[in-house]
A and B are shown apart, each in its own frame.
Chain A
Amino acid sequence: MNINATLIGQMIAFIVFVWFCMKFVWPPLTRILEERKKTIADGLAAAERGKREHELAEKRALETLKKAKQDAAEIVAIAEKRAAEVADEAKHQAKTEAERIVAAAKADIDQEVVRAKEALRAAVAELAVAGAARILEKEVDAKSHARLLETVAAKL
């Protein structure tokens, strides 16, 4: 337990060790720790950013989906309306067409009736003339009795 030159040796060793530690051990280690801290912080920030972006994208997707549904509903409504319109129009057209056809047919019929009446009237006039000639036993002069004949025909 004597105090001796060991003291000096120990002091020198101590100073050398501290110097070495200060030069070659401490700086790289603290640098690495700083780097790791930064890496971790960056990673966490990136993760946070990714999460936020993901949330945003999800929200956007939801919105798009909603909008698409809305659009689809609108389109369907429009289409339905249009279909109803088309059907109405077709119905209307068909009705008009039918009316037109009916009208045309009626006109035809009327014409036929008129024509038949006309023919009948002519035939009756002829018959009347023939009958009268038979009754009179002589030829009725068509020319001289034309007025009479016409009156008869008109009465028919």
Chain B
Amino acid sequence: MAGDTLTSSEYIKHHLQNLTFGKLPDGGWGIAHSAEQAKEMGFWAVHLDTLGFSFGLGILFLFLFHRAARRAQAGVPGGLQNFVEWVVEFIDGTVRGSFSGRNPMVAPLALSIFIWIFLMNFMDLIAIDLMPWIAHALGVPYLKIVPTTDPNATFGMSLAVFVLILYYSVKIKGVGGFVGELTLQPFGKWGLPVNLFLEGVNLIAKPVSLALRLFGNMYAGEMIFILIAVMYGAGWMFGAFAGLLQVGWAIFHILIITLQAFIFMTLTIVYLDMAHQEHH
């Protein structure tokens, strides 16, 4: 537990608060020491924990894969190279299966999304109190180690994907073609406002659903871990039951974190494939 003096509600709130860096009410810049303070910082503040862990994991991913790529040779592969090649072949197969266009960016994009999100989700399996406790000992008030439970992270990725969708839609179909796709179907040119509304919702739903699906799954998973952790404080019987629950949920969560990373990747590929397809 983060502290014995906390109530359950405070404990949960504490776990759901990011380490926010921004402008303090007194005018200086610093770390928020309460949820209210963090809220008051407005848009121009950053979650140091989200950024730190996601950057760190992204760099770890690129470092490992780059190392494997640099040392790779066509002979018998070693352990890391074997694993990396297996992942690459898996991604390559998925991209070939879902993406009909020709774009050298899609497969590396899919690989980055899959591994990065998987690693960020994986932080969920680290004992929930361990890192905040260490951080607390070091004087850091809040620490949320799963970047994908922060909507900023998931929306950051989905908006980047959205930008790519728009870019390739316009690049492949031309501005006219893209606008036409938004306005001239499904009801022809006389149903233009309805078309625009339907297609607009369709378009906007892509990044929103991408981000919220990942965020929602991870947030809910994290929440369940927190609730299980709260049970530890409720006597030894509940504690033992919570231990079982925690193990069970963690095992189940291995499936979820992989699945969510895979879904994000697959949907990105599908959306980009749709952006590459010309309608007539």
Whole-angstrom distance between the Cβ of B58 and the nearest chain A Cβ: 5
Given A6-B51, A13-B55, A21-B111: A29 and B88 interface contact (C-beta under 8 Å): yes
Interface status of B66 (Cβ within 8 A of chain A): yes
In angstroms, Cα B47 to Cα A39, docked, is 49
Q: Are A10 and B156 neighbours in the complex by a CB distance under 8 Å?
A: yes
Binds B, one of A30-38, A72-80, A110-118: A30-38
Q: Are A6 and B153 neighbours in the complex by a CB distance under 8 Å?
A: yes
Q: Are B112 and A21 neighbours in the complex by a CB distance under 8 Å?
A: yes
Report B-chain residues with C-beta under 8 Å of the C-beta of A20: 62, 66
In-complex Cβ contact of B152 among A4, A28, A33 (8 A):
A4
C-beta contact mask, A3-14 vs B, less than 8 Å → 1, else 0? 111111111011
Interface size class of B (residues with CB under 8 A): 35 or more
Whole-angstrom distance between the Cβ of B35 and the nearest chain A Cβ: 9
Report A-chain residues with C-beta under 8 Å of the C-beta of B150: 1, 6
Binds A, one of B67-75, B188-196, B240-248: B67-75
Interface status of B236 (Cβ within 8 A of chain A): no
Whole-angstrom distance between the Cβ of A15 and the nearest chain B Cβ: 6
In angstroms, Cα B278 to Cα A130, docked, is 162
Whole-angstrom distance between the Cβ of B86 and the nearest chain A Cβ: 10
Interface of B is mostly: helix
Interface status of B104 (Cβ within 8 A of chain A): yes
Binds A, one of B36-44, B178-186, B197-205, B249-257: B36-44
Interface status of B22 (Cβ within 8 A of chain A): yes
Given A22-B105, A26-B111: A39 and B74 interface contact (C-beta under 8 Å): yes
- Chain A residue at minimum C-beta to C-beta distance from B59: A17
C-beta contact mask, B143-157 vs A, less than 8 Å → 1, else 0? 000010011110111
- Where the two chains meet, the residues of A that have a C-beta atom closer than 8 Å to any C-beta of B are 1-11, 13-15, 17-18, 20-22, 24-26, 28-30, 32-33, 35-36, 38-39
